[in-house]
Amino acid sequence: MDRVTQGWARATASSRGLSLVSFALLLLLVLPWIPAEDHAGSHTYVHLAAAFLRGSLAIERPIYDAALVDGRYYVVFPPAPAVLLMPFVAIFGTQFKTLLLTPVLGALAAFFAHRLALRTGASPAVAGWTTFGLVFGTSLLLCIVIPIDTYLAHCCAMLFMLIALDEASGPRRGWRVGLALGLAALSRQLSVLTVPFAWALLLAPGEGGRDRHAGLRAVVASAIGLALCAGFYLYLNWARFGDPFDSGYRHLTEQGWYGYRQQRWGNFHWIYLPSNLIRMFVNGFHVQFLPPSLLVPRMDRFGNSLTFASPFFYYAFWGRNRDAPWLDRVGWSCIGLTCLAVLLHKSALGGEQINGVRYALDFAPLLFVFTVLGFERARGSVYEWLGKRLVAYAIALNLVAFVLIPIAGWALRRLPD
């Protein structure tokens, strides 16, 4: 990672421009959904933000994904997205529409992803293609355009992980790396498995001839930021459930197949591995047709695999850190551990996935780094030509899933009998 970009001001300007383009495109995709969005009875983070503003840890009424403990209802999800929403809920109340915020998070993710790609030594063309692939050709687009609580958490975690990796591979301001990683973990717990790779980047030789001692100081500074976030989470758990290590998930009363799995095998079990593996790597694009006519199309709620939704990610296996090969081992260990944790979890198929696997976003920023390196290695070959078309295919498939099929379903529902 010691091959850094030339012309810092130029790199930042190009990242800013790509971010603005991404924001405009995301806003166009989100606008049709905003009028129909309704959080009054469902969005847990909006209600948790309102509770924090009242000085309470408990929400006022029962909603989905809330646990009943000692007569009070608690949101068990990590709290960072609710903290982010507090200013907006303070102004607009619990009717605030999160779709007004998610395009901003997506545009910021594009900014930091593009700058991270440039920091790896990628050409502007490679950085642009891979960044558009990450934002528009993965399940991140799902999380931006669909107003569901856990999807907002994915947007936040993705952004904070990209910020951390960008800082770790560039200026190496350890406190920012630690704070960003802490906020990522306070959005999605599995984000904490990004920490070893971020620390490895801090220790790697790089910009300005920084030595190992400077890297160690940055790691220590990042550990302090992480400790502050961890301390806040442990206190929150203790204040709600009387145990700093009780996050509250065991208090949830799950329904349907979630409840069946939880009651029989628990939250993590090897028995979930075969079905999750198929969904993650094998399952294809699937459109359902609704009765009674079987003419109205709807995307399969379980989505399709990385292989069919975002095949450009396979260029990650071609990515190499030529100057620091040990970074590859650390990075792939983090990806492997995160992926395994996802594959062993009861809910890895849950929610409206539609296109792609949203749980893969827990390790997508790490995968993105190696994908960029793989694309850069392919420059000037037929594989560069193929990679660009795989990115274009992934983006087009997302547009089909999120734009064309919903429009077709809407039109067919309005045909006269």
pLDDT for residue 8 is more than 60: no
The tokens for 245 are 């290590």
pLDDT for residue 1 is more than 50: no
Instruction: Output the pLDDT for position 3.
Output: 45
- Whether residue 46 lies inside any domain: the answer is no
Q: What is the DSSP letter of 72?
A: E
Helix (H, G, I), strand (E, B) or coil at 252: coil
- Whether residue 72 lies inside any domain: the answer is no
Lowest-confidence pick of 34-48, 66-80, 182-196: 34-48
Report pLDDT digits (tens) over 79-126: 999 999 999 999 999 889 999 999 999 999 999 999 999 999 899 999
Please enumerate in sequence order all residues whose Cβ is within 8 A of that of 112, keeping only pairs 6 or more positions apart, or say none: 15, 159, 162, 163, 166
Give me the chain's average pLDDT, please. 89
Q: 42, 36 in Cβ contact below 8 A?
A: no
What is the tally of structural domains in the chain? 1
d(CA 126, CA 272): 37
- Whether residue 307 lies inside any domain: the answer is yes
- Place 390 in a pLDDT band, splitting at 50, 70 and 90: very high
200: amino acid identity, one letter: A
Please enumerate in sequence order all residues whose Cβ is within 8 A of that of 5, keeping only pairs 6 or more positions apart, or say none: 11, 118, 119, 121
Burial 227-261 (b: 16+ CB within 10 A, else e): eebbeebeebbeebbeeeebbbeeebebeeebeeb
Element housing 166 (H / E): helix 149-169
Lowest-confidence pick of 256-265, 337-346, 396-405: 256-265
pLDDT for residue 266 is more than 70: yes
Domain residues for 193? 15-37+97-413
Mean pLDDT of the 230-255 span: 90
Report pLDDT digits (tens) over 322-357: 778 899 999 999 999 999 999 999 887 777 788 989
- Place 11 in a pLDDT band, splitting at 50, 70 and 90: low
The tokens for 40 are 């009054």
Report pLDDT digits (tens) over 276-308: 999 999 999 989 888 888 888 888 888 899 999
Most confident segment among 86-95, 258-267, 292-301, 388-397: 388-397
Q: What is the DSSP letter of 66?
A: E
Q: What is the DSSP letter of 268?
A: B
- Place 172 in a pLDDT band, splitting at 50, 70 and 90: confident
β-strand 296-299 against 72-75: which pairing, if any? unpaired
- Whether residue 82 lies inside any domain: the answer is no
Mean pLDDT of the 49-67 span: 88
- Place 190 in a pLDDT band, splitting at 50, 70 and 90: very high
Percent of the chain beyond pLDDT 90? 63
Please give the residue that has the higher pLDDT: either 15 or 132: 132
- Whether residue 20 lies inside any domain: the answer is yes
- Whether residue 57 lies inside any domain: the answer is no
- Whether residue 363 lies inside any domain: the answer is yes
Q: 184, 226 in Cβ contact below 8 A?
A: no
